[in-house]
Amino acid sequence: MGLFDWIGGQFIDVIDWTDDSHDTMVYRFNRQGNEIKYGAKLIVRASQVAVFVNEGEIADILTAGTYELETKNIPILTSLKHWDHGFDSPFKAEVYFLNTKRFIDLKWGTKNPIMVRDKEFAMVRLRAFGSYEIRIKDPKVFMEEIVGTDGHFTTDEIDKQLTNLIISKFATVIGKADTPVLDMAGNYDIFGGFITDKISPYFTEYGLELTKILIENISLPPEVEKALDVRSSRAITGNLDDHLKYQSAEALANGSGGMSDMVGMGAGLAMGQQMAQSMQQVYNQPQATTTAPSMPPPVPNQAPQYHVAINGASQGPYPMQTIVEYITQGTITKESLVWSEGMAGWTPASEVFADKFRQVPPPLV
């Protein structure tokens, strides 16, 4: 190694940091044992702060800008070192760059269901998940409480702790919330803002700011969701009778086998009963009058009908055609008593139907 290479390795003229990782929160400038030259240039970019640590103590915090490391820029470090020469000679100090941008799309979610009281369901178990956003608010607190001497601190190192914090506080907040479970789904934005306000004070203990909590889903147990689906389906169908007709028609059109046959039989019986009821209602309704001429009623049957005493009991009345058949069959004999309207009393059939008995052939010997 040449003399000039050694000199270049001993003195640092520019101190800066650029980040393309999207998850690095703190980066310690790599000195590799080198000393910082008095008057060196420090570049702190937007959404960054630079923290000087001397012998384990935070000496100074510089915000975005370009600095020449002189006494006027880092007076705290000067006081700590008690240098008589005012940085005339090189000095050693650790420089940490803190990323103060907003870190977004950090995930959170409940590991186990949370039991809460609800106005409609009494008690119910809920699961929830979503994302949250943070940024470094107090660099000094964040360095002292979280980072320590970690030279490359990422969101993964604190994400689990923050997630546990959100879940524990979320359970408390949702347990005290007066919002019905069914109304939460329609008010995720409002509810997310409410939870953010309630939980964010706990993040300040770590030097962080909780800028936003997004709720992507609050879900019920599968059994409750299934019951809600059934309830919603019944509400959507409206008239239950119409819905049963529709289901029966669908079963007839798409079903197969014994089940569809049974459904079809049930639907047929139900439709038949409804048609009968409809016809009965139409029959019982008063008929509207009309000026059109009406057809005359049919001529009433004037042929007499007869009651017959068979086995000591009155049967009938029968028309003449049936009387003749009974005489032919032998059911009515000459001694059988008959009666019809206009007759004084029961009379033997031989007197009433004398001509009919003559037509009956004699019995075979």
Q: How far is residue 352's CA from residue 329's CA, in Å, rounded to a whole number?
A: 18
| Predicted pLDDT of residue 331 | 86
Extract the tokens encoding 335.
């001694």
Extract the tokens encoding 215.
């709720």
- Greatest CA separation for the chain: 164
Q: How far is residue 36's CA from residue 12's CA, in Å, rounded to a whole number?
A: 5
CB pairs under 8 A, 24+ apart, for 89-92?
A: 89/38, 90/10, 90/11, 90/35, 90/36, 90/37, 90/38, 91/35, 91/36, 91/38, 92/31, 92/35, 92/36
Residue 267's identity, in one-letter code, is A
Position 33 pLDDT exceeds 90: no
Residue 162's pLDDT band (boundaries 50, 70, 90)? very high
Cross-strand partners of 12 = 36
Q: How far is residue 318's CA from residue 336's CA, in Å, rounded to a whole number?
A: 14
Note whether 207 and 139 are within 8 A (CB). Answer: yes
Extract the tokens encoding 315.
């049967």
Q: Which residue has the higher pLDDT, 171 or 281?
A: 171
Q: How far is residue 247's CA from residue 59's CA, in Å, rounded to a whole number?
A: 78
Q: What is the pLDDT of residues 225-273, one digit of tens each?
A: 787 777 766 666 656 666 666 667 666 666 555 545 555 555 555 556 6
Mean pLDDT confidence for 58-71: 84
> Which one of 13-27, 131-145, 224-238 scores highest in mean pLDDT?
131-145
Helices 156-176/188-203 angle, 10° precision: 120
**pTM for the whole thing?**
0.56
Position 4 pLDDT exceeds 60: no
Q: What is the pLDDT of residues 335-347, one digit of tens each?
A: 889 888 888 888 9
**Residue 28 vs residues 33, 41, 93, 96, 147: alpha-carbon distances, Å:** 13, 16, 11, 4, 11
| Predicted pLDDT of residue 59 | 83
| Predicted pLDDT of residue 7 | 43
SS3 label, residue 97: strand
Mean residue pLDDT of the chain comes to: 77
Pairing of strands 35-44, 11-15: parallel
